[in-house]
Amino acid sequence: MKTIEKVVKDIQYRFPEGFWWGSSASAAQTEGAADVDGKGKNIWDYWYEKEPNRFFNRVGPQTTSQFYYRYKEDIQLMKELGHNSFRTSISWSRMFPSGKGEVNEKAVEFYNNVINELIEAEIEPFINLFHFDMPLELQKIGGWINREVVDAYVEYAKTCFRLFGDRVKKWFTHNEPIVPVEGGYLYDFHYPNEVDFRKAVQAGYHTILSSARAIKAYKELGQDGKIGIILNLTPSYPRSQHPADVKASKIADVFFNRSFLDPSVKGEFPIELVEILKEEGYMPVIEEGDLEVIKNNTVDILGINYYQPRRVKAKENLPNPEAPFMPERYFDHYIMPGRKMNPYRGWEIYEKGIYDILINVKENYGNIECFISENGMGVEGEERFRDENGMIQDDYRIEFIREHLKWVHKAIQEGCNVKGYHLWTFMDNWSWTNAYKNRYGFVSVNLDNNAERMVKKSGYWFKVVSEHNGF
């Protein structure tokens, strides 16, 4: 550990006092206990039963890191690694096995225990309500396409606020809400695996409405915390400054970033997006009073997830008029020569992107209070980096975090209202169809040995950074 101590001997990058150091996770990816203590099925439980071959090595959501049983030791480990905050989610189908109706008291007991354990360890709980895990019974009636599901979500949210809001002061309505829209209704990587742009638009609209209505409910309860949303913001960089490339990048930004960012923070939809939807004939069904609810119930705080940039160029060929409508009708993806890559995940590493996002939020979104809620590096086959003591020497992850934090620090120096940094993730977890292919955690989880935990080098590095509030 001497080399790690050396890193902070002369601190060059000092962060503001009270900076939120921690990590993020989700219920479906860590809890396990998928059919225990009254939990209902969500879409992942069902899809895995239906098509296990779609999941890496046929590993499903039952095989997770068993946080449901081991939360006490995991929270103690978070404390040891310098966490002062931790973001996770509540499982809607654990709280309400059918998505609505009677609350599951076993779930209430579990989440009370987790929240109390975190607070006792002096780790502030940041609680998210929806992280891709739609209850199966609600998906059967259409999921986010059906307005009844918005009503059910608001009741679920209100229940959580009433039960846990005396201790939880950081709430989030959704994590990466565009992902279930893209995955479920455009690009076939989430259940229900449909390719239907009209459904995608309606699901996205109802998700935004559900967020605004949950915020309204939270404010009406008069609780003294903050409520926000967590968005995966992916800067859209044009291939060149040619007007056609620049226009393509702006349209990509409207579809994938501003579609959720503008209504969440400003309370209004981007004019450019509305014009495209009208022109193409894909406007969602909007009921009277909806837009007023969205306008008047914007977020207090913004979580920002950043992994990679989006690079685009003008269309090089005319789209097939018979093909399903996709946002890519307006741009092509562009592979920049010489880009730095994480070869395991197939993602570009571009650290300055995190700074560009924060400057954009400062300049165009009222410098709203925000934090980096996810940033991380997934690597396959990390076992090969174990040393003679069994510790994974993940210097590549330390470099990844450090280089992103340098840009976060620069943004803070330039007045950005960014309050924290949470790594994805605390411990290696189950990651949707990728299962355990790529590992992201500060802590390794050995699935072959009773989910044994072992801290990686990056975990100890982060501990020192947190304790010194810089590096």
Q: Which residues are catalytic?
A: 176, 374
Contact call for residues 252 and 310 (beta carbons, < 8 A) = yes
- 27: closest CA among 107, 121, 116, 140? 107
Closest to 431 in 3D by CA, of 89, 32, 64 = 64
The structure tokens listed for 248 are 């393509």
Would you call 214 helix, strand, or coil by DSSP?
Answer: helix
* Alpha-helical segments (H) within 255-381: 259-265, 271-280, 290-296, 352-364
- Contacts for 191 with CB less than 8 Å, ≥ 6 apart: 43, 44, 46, 47, 139, 184
How many angstroms separate the CA atoms of 107 and 426, rounded? 22
CB of 76 closer than 8 Å to CB of 121: yes
Distance CA 237, CA 319 (A): 22
Q: What is the DSSP letter of 340?
A: -
Instruction: Give the tokens for residue 62.
Output: 């039952």
Dist. CA 290–CA 176, nearest whole Å: 21
Place of tokens 């995966």: 232
Q: What is residue 38's three-state secondary structure? A: coil
Sheet strands (E) in 186-299: 226-232, 236-238
Is the bond preceding residue 192 a cis peptide, omega within 30 degrees?
yes
The first and second tokens of residue 45, run together, are: 């439980």
DSSP for residue 395: H
DSSP letter (8 states) at residue 62: T
**Alpha helices (H) along 10-133:** 27-30, 43-50, 67-80, 92-95, 105-120
Under a CB-based contact definition with an 8 Å cutoff, are residues 187 and 139 in contact? no
Spatial separation of the C-alpha atoms in residues 463 and 10, rounded to whole Å? 16
Among 86, 159, 160, smallest CA distance to 117 is for: 86
Q: Which of 293, 144, 146 lies closest to 214, judged by CA?
A: 293
Torsion angle, CA of 409/410/412/413, rounded to 10 degrees?
A: 120
For residue 8, what are its two tokens? 């902070």
